């Protein structure tokens, strides 16, 4: 049993392969957190709640007889607003009396095999019921009738636990949720480094590390998407932890809209982390018997350093988040038309790309933006999803037939959540764009956002997409989202529900994505938002890959891909070889091999030498596919810590194969270069396929390789492949 309850001590204990999470039903049915960390066999943890003495400024409950209890000082399992806990709170509900004092207490629980779905929201799933066990803890605010269910699912084999919350109004009066975080986790000390991923368009997911300080530190998005600027991932690493050693706790929210992660260190040096929907511009109105479902937080514990945390996330997401037809299938190598021609193309030009691509071994042609409506630049036609036959003179069917006759698959670009002011759809339905009364509508990239909270809007877009995809054999769809949401409101929501808009918008997007993927289950869906603006586990639940960044410069891609790898597996990272001239084509390919791999350039302008290089790269893609996409990642030299080189390695699960990649960002001050490999079997012997030399795993990991004679000029790179003998 991965979940147990000691009825005498009233302690819940949740055990994974490598961690234990424990909390207690305390006096007066308060829920008190006890422990989260390395796995322990017993539950002798009852004294863990006590954090030392406190003054009258930290109130207590006079009915609690146990000495040392105050909601303001004790580690609360799920913190509430206004009832004695002054730290950041996970739950605040405005009641019919006009105050938001919230105080939920334990009433019961249920333990069962399996994992429930979350209504309307993506979440981790099980391949079999035996993979996980779930605990539902039932609590109620006896004054307001707010019933709050805390849901914990334990993935025993992954050292991972998921958390979510259901709020139900069991009273006769209305309630308004002001904040509902999906998890609250307490730590008895503050000696952690906070790690998170920040960025902007063209420079997503850079790693930020800072030591926790007294007070509140947070990362948030209020853009209507998870955003380029902050990713819904945060980790707490012991301040002595490294890539390979020490305790690390990772948290990732399965959600694609406004989020918040807040970490408070109090005067007793204890730390509280809460994560969930950003309460700013959020509210949810509950009538009698209505329920609200929060998104899911994935919590991972590692005592094998940051790398151990990352590999757990990677395995868990490969097996229990990414789903559908393409989950375990090799992805086709594609060439995308965007950087080759932008909006300037016709059917003959697209076919010419396909002809050259076929000669090099590329497997799919993707026609990007510009094929629909009157779309010749970014000023028009979003929402008019019919073929522009001035460009595609034989129509879409003729183009697809010509491409498929060459033996290539065919893909197409859409931006379903957007509308251009210069479009037939906008002229017919101007109220369908996101707006509020008496305010100017902000515009970005010459477009507005469609109100995806409305079923009539979603039905229209679905019908347009379905009408085309059901008529023609489309193998791949790139789903883009090229601006954030302003003037957030819906013409159909009453005033008391306008704060529900952002959440209803993303629920609508999820619903539309679900309809499209259900209608075309074998079509490969790739998400995009100006690159990596919605690179989150919510989107990964619908699309097995996401365009990692619009920045295809291989040197800039190093930080983007290293940062993304903190919790996202390589097989979901959209990465292409482009026409960027900063490095040679071999380095561009060596970096892109880390991800889904493809091309973003004009094949008609390539030299014969580069075409031959592409053939070799495609051979490597197939040769190394399994070790990269199903193996374990080891980050050896990080571009965030080293200004000269980046080095990473993939090792197959059976430890029989290893691929080492090194990239020189700028020429080092010294040419001396030694690398210790990681993750090998010390008792096995490995052959370097380049030169035939054979080394023990112990030698490669402890003594390392002397690579001083490798090219160290700017932008140079190499890969080394090792096989067990």
* Biggest CA-to-CA distance, the chain: 83
Burial class (CB in 10 A: 0-12, 13-18, 19+), 208: middle
Q: How far is CA 280 from the centre of its chain?
A: 21
| Alpha carbons 276 and 263: distance in angstroms, whole number | 12
Residue 535, phi then psi, degrees to nearest 5: -90, 85
| Alpha carbons 374 and 371: distance in angstroms, whole number | 8
φ/ψ region of 148 (left if φ > 0, alpha if ψ in -120 to 50, else beta) reads beta
| Alpha carbons 222 and 485: distance in angstroms, whole number | 9
| Alpha carbons 530 and 104: distance in angstroms, whole number | 42
Active-site residue, 570 included: no
Render 358-408 in DSSP notation, one character per residue: HHHT--EEEE-S-SBTT-SSTTS-TT--SB-TTTSTTHHHHHHHHHHHTT-
SS3 state of residue 317 = helix
Closest CA to 204 of 544, 565, 538: 565
SS3 state of residue 5 = strand
| Alpha carbons 580 and 591: distance in angstroms, whole number | 13
Contact 465, 396 (CB under 8 A): no
Roughly what angle, to the nearest 10 degrees, separates helices 585-592 and 608-629? 20
Residue of 550, 570, 586, 632 marked active site: 550
Render 682-696 in DSSP notation, one character per residue: TTSEEEETTT--EEE
Residue corresponding to tokens 């009738």: 145
SS3 state of residue 258 = coil
Distances (CA, A) of 352 to 340, 403, 604: 12, 9, 8
CA angle 322, 327, 332 (to 5 degrees): 125
φ/ψ region of 98 (left if φ > 0, alpha if ψ in -120 to 50, else beta) reads left
Closest CA to 99 of 172, 178, 166: 178
Contact 217, 529 (CB under 8 A): no
Residue of 266, 369, 480, 632 marked active site: 480
SS3 state of residue 663 = strand
Active-site residue, 550 included: yes
Residue corresponding to tokens 């299938």: 329
| Alpha carbons 360 and 354: distance in angstroms, whole number | 10
Closest CA to 447 of 480, 476, 475: 480
End-to-end CA distance of the chain: 40
Beta bridge partners of 81: none
| Contact partners, residue 163, CB within 8 Å, separation at least 6 | 150, 151, 152, 182, 183, 296, 297, 299
| Contact partners, residue 289, CB within 8 Å, separation at least 6 | 168, 169, 170
Task: Extract the tokens encoding 699.
Answer: 């030698």
SS3 state of residue 8 = coil
| Alpha carbons 77 and 22: distance in angstroms, whole number | 10
Closest CA to 514 of 311, 324, 288, 260: 324
| Alpha carbons 466 and 411: distance in angstroms, whole number | 15
Task: Extract the tokens encoding 644.
Answer: 């000269």
- The set of catalytic residues is 480, 550
């Amino acid at each position: 049993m991965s979940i147990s309850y000691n009825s005498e001590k009233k302690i819940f204990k949740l055990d994974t392969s490598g961690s234990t999470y424990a909390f207690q039903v305390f006096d007066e049915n308060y829920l008190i957190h006890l422990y989260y960390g390395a796995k322990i066999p017993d539950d002798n943890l009852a004294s863990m709640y006590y954090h030392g003495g406190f003054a009258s400024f930290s109130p207590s409950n006079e009915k609690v007889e146990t000495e040392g209890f105050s909601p303001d000082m004790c580690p609360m399992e799920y913190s509430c607003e206004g009832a004695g806990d002054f730290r950041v709170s996970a739950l605040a509900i405005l009641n019919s009396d006009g105050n938001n004092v919230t105080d939920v207490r334990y009433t019961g629980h249920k333990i069962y095999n399996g994992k429930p779905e979350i209504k309307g929201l993506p979440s981790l799933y099980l391949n079999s019921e035996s993979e996980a066990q779930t605990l539902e803890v039932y609590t109620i605010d006896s004054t307001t009738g707010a019933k709050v269910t805390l849901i914990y699912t334990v993935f025993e084999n992954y050292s991972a636990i998921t958390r979510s919350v259901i709020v139900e109004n069991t009273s006769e009066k209305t309630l308004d949720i002001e904040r509902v975080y999906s998890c609250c986790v307490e730590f008895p000390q503050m000696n952690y480094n906070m790690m998170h991923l920040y960025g902007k368009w063209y420079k997503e997911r850079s790693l930020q590390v800072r030591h926790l300080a007294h007070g509140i530190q947070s990362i948030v998005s209020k853009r209507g998407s998870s955003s380029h600027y902050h990713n819904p991932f945060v980790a707490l690493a012991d301040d002595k932890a490294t890539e390979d050693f020490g305790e690390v706790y990772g948290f990732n929210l399965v959600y694609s809209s406004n989020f918040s992660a807040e970490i408070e260190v109090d005067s007793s040096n204890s730390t509280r982390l809460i994560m969930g929907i950003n309460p700013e511009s959020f509210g949810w109105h509950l009538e009698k018997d209505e329920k609200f479902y929060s998104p899911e937080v994935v919590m991972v514990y590692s005592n094998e350093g940051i790398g151990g945390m990352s590999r757990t996330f990677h395995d868990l997401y490969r097996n229990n988040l990414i789903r559908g037809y393409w989950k375990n299938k090799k992805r086709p190598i594609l060439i995308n038309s965007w950087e080759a021609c932008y909006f300037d193309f016709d059917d003959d030009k697209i076919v010419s790309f396909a002809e050259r691509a076929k000669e090099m071994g590329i497997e799919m042609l993707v026609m990007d933006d510009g094929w629909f409506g009157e779309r010749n630049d970014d000023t028009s036609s979003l929402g008019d999803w019919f073929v522009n036959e001035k460009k595609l003179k034989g129509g879409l069917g003729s183009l697809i037939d010509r491409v498929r006759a060459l033996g290539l698959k065919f893909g197409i670009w859409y931006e379903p959540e957007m509308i251009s002011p210069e479009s037939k759809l906008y002229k017919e339905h101007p109220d369908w764009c996101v707006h509020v009364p008496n305010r100017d509508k902000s515009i970005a990239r010459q477009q507005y956002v469609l109100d995806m909270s409305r079923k009539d809007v979603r039905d229209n877009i679905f019908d347009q997409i379905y009408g085309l995809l059901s008529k023609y054999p489309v193998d791949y769809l790139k789903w883009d989202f090229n601006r954030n949401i302003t003037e957030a409101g819906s013409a159909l929501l009453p005033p008391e529900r306008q704060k529900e808009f952002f959440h209803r918008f993303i629920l609508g997007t999820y619903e539309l994505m679900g309809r499209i993927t259900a209608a075309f289950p074998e079509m490969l869906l790739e998400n995009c938002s100006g690159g990596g603006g919605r690179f989150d586990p919510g989107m990964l639940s619908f699309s097995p890959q996401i365009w990692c960044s619009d920045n295809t410069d291989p040197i800039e891609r190093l930080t983007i891909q290293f940062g993304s790898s903190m919790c996202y597996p390589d097989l979901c990272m959209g990465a292409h070889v482009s026409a960027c001239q900063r490095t040679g084509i071999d380095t561009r390919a060596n970096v892109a091999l880390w991800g889904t791999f493809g091309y973003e350039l004009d094949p008609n302008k390539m030299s014969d030498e580069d075409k031959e290089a592409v053939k070799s790269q495609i051979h490597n893609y197939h040769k190394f596919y399994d070790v990269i996409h199903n193996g374990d990642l080891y980050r050896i030299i990080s571009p965030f810590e080293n200004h000269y080189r980046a080095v990473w390695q993939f090792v197959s699960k059976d430890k029989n194969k290893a691929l080492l990649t090194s990239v020189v960002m700028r020429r080092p001050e010294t040419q001396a270069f030694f690398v210790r490999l990681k993750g090998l079997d010390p008792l096995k012997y490995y052959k370097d396929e380049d030169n035939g030399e054979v080394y023990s795993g112990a030698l490669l990991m402890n003594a390392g390789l002397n690579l001083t004679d490798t090219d160290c000029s700017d932008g140079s790179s190499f890969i080394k492949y090792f096989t067990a003998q």
